[in-house]
A and B are shown apart, each in its own frame.
Chain A
Amino acid sequence: MASNLFDRLLWCLVVMAGLVASARAAEPSTAWEVPVVALSCSGCHAPVVATGGLIPQLAGGNRDDLIAAMQAFRLGQRPATVMDRIAKGFTDQEVRMIADWYAGQR
């Protein structure tokens, strides 16, 4: 319940901020608070596009699942085409930032 209330408060703040800043807004702002390390993940996992098939949509996904998947990719414990190679380029902290951001999309 507490988190629900927090969500609503946050939503109000977001809406108010949006009203103030929306003079030119034609589409929703999605990247404003994006951690810069997550940006090029979106080359495949684009939050503004409905990706399909073999490239999963991460936006709105579960944060802990994403972190676990990245750890498994890095350790070679999860079947992969490219993600085993990519996961090795990111630290635990970066993976948490990326997962937080994707979980917060949508």
Chain B
Amino acid sequence: MKSLDRRHFLQAMAAASTVAGCMPAPTVFAPRTAPKVVVVGGGFAGASLARALRRTDPAIAVTLVEAGSSYTACPFSNLVIAGLRDISQQRFTYQSIAASGIDVVCGMATGVDAEARLLSLADGTRLPYDRLVLAPGITMRWESLPGYDEKASELMPHAWHAGSQTLLLRKQLEAMEDGGLVVLTVPANPYRCPPGPYERASLIASYLKQKKPKSKLLILDAKDDFSKRRLFQKAWSALYPGLIEWVPLSQGGKVIAVDSQTNIVVTDFARYQAQVANVIPPQKAGSIADLSGVADRSGWCPVHPETFESKLQKGIHVIGDAALTGAIPKSAFAANAEAKICALAISRLLRGETPASPKLINSCYSLAAPDFGFSITGIYQPNDGQFAEIAGSGGVSPLDAPPSIRRAEAEIARVWFQTITAEIFA
């Protein structure tokens, strides 16, 4: 096939259309005109990538495949659970993304033919691509915690996807009597948003302290340590004395079963009768990762750090929570940074250039109370096939900081959320 210029290609297509109606474009022509990048998943990772690619190289045809008509963001959704924020502030539409020249396709990705470079959707559509980016986020490992399946999550919400689950947990907390026991269960690493469960515990405690002060919150944890632990524990003693109890793995914190009918949570050592049970189960990469062969036995997707291209399938990139990157935590901030690096790498790969070696920042805020914030930061670079943290940089907020600094970090967290969501969705 010799090069075919755009005008002749369009003429040929017009002729074909006359004969056969609306025919899909033959993929073999696609790279000669506009390179095609198809992105699956419209969250922080996928939507950021589509926007970044469009801004990087407007000559690339970008298609964003997303099953939902709007996106409900997880960061700050713990404030919704505590009754301190409206869920509408978490919701974003794809209108501006579509208006920026990105083809937004509402559909569910069901399979990939990596050889033919075709993505299949549930409605039978087949989308050709030169590069495919999968940003499917997480799915729950329903099989891994006895008693906890999708149906059980309607009684014991995980609220680890924001939306109806967030509102269900809020409703249950509102309905609970003063003096009730809230049980929050946390899985082993890795999972989405490492400090998220502890921010949630803090903000639920702030609600209980004000409205239901005789209540207790029990955290059953499958780990012996967690992100920003000393900062959280110091804040809990100061703000909610006696209200939160954390049970680590070594003290019997690992949950081995739940009963959603009776709201009982079981560990090796005890059975807890919860009034409200927030079960955050073990997770893995979103289902398209398995279906397309980019997930390994861990359930996550190993990628090359320079390009975020899968180590298992050529031409497919994986970004965001689904990716196995090494040291980078699964956060919205990191997903956005990975998306920008991946977009730049893809634009260079499509021009036959070599992507530059990246550096990636993660900066992740937690609220111990609405005006009490602290952060963890890390700077990462490729080392031996994955991302490693750069020694001597990053770290957590100081353990001893005046309230003004905690207020400032809470405010910066809010500005960050406004900025990143505007950059992606506005």
Residues of A within 8 A of B (CB): 21-32, 34-37, 39-44, 46, 48-49, 51-55, 81-82, 85-86, 88-90, 94
Contact = CB atoms under 8 A, between A and B. Distances in A.
A89 B415 contact: no
B100 A36 contact: no
Interface string B383-416: 0000000101111010000000100110110011
Most buried by A among B59, B99, B356: B59
Contacts of A46: 419-420, 422-423
Nearest to B341: A39
B72 interface: no
A22 B344 contact: no
B397 A81 contact: yes
Contacts of A32: 56-57
Nearest to A88: B393
Contacts of B357: 36
Contacts of B166: none
A8 B52 CA distance: 28
A36 B359 contact: yes
B24 interface: no
Contact of A39 (B344, B379, B423): B344
Given A27-B101, A29-B58, A36-B356, 20 more contacts: A21-B59, A29-B56, A36-B341, A36-B359, A39-B341, A40-B337, A42-B423, A43-B420, A49-B422, A49-B426, A51-B415, A51-B419, A52-B418, A55-B416, A88-B393, A88-B394, A89-B359, A89-B379, A89-B393, A90-B359
Nearest to A98: B359
Interface of B: 34, 52, 54-59, 61, 99-101, 333, 336-337, 340-341, 343-344, 355-363, 375, 377, 379, 390, 392-395, 397, 405, 408-409, 411-412, 415-416, 418-420, 422-423, 426
B16 to A, nearest CB: 22
A48 to B, nearest CB: 6
A55 B415 contact: yes
A51 B378 CA distance: 22
A51 to B, nearest CB: 5
B423 A48 contact: yes
Contact of B58 (A25, A35, A54): A25
10 contacts: A24-B101, A31-B55, A31-B340, A31-B343, A40-B337, A41-B361, A44-B363, A44-B420, A46-B423, A94-B359
B212 to A, nearest CB: 33
A31 B58 contact: no
A74 to B, nearest CB: 9
A64 B341 CA distance: 26
A102 to B, nearest CB: 14
A27 B100 contact: yes
A24 B358 CA distance: 28
Contacts of B359: 36-37, 40, 89-90, 94
Contact of A86 (B343, B361, B415): B361
A29 B54 CA distance: 8
Nearest to A42: B340
Contacts of B54: 26-27
B136 to A, nearest CB: 21
| 7 cross-chain pairs, A with B, having the tightest CB-CB distances, nearest first | A89-B379, A89-B393, A40-B337, A26-B101, A88-B393, A25-B58, A40-B361
A37 to B, nearest CB: 5
Contacts of A36: 341, 344, 355-359
B59 A39 contact: no
Contacts of A86: 361, 363, 377, 379, 393-394
A88 B343 CA distance: 26
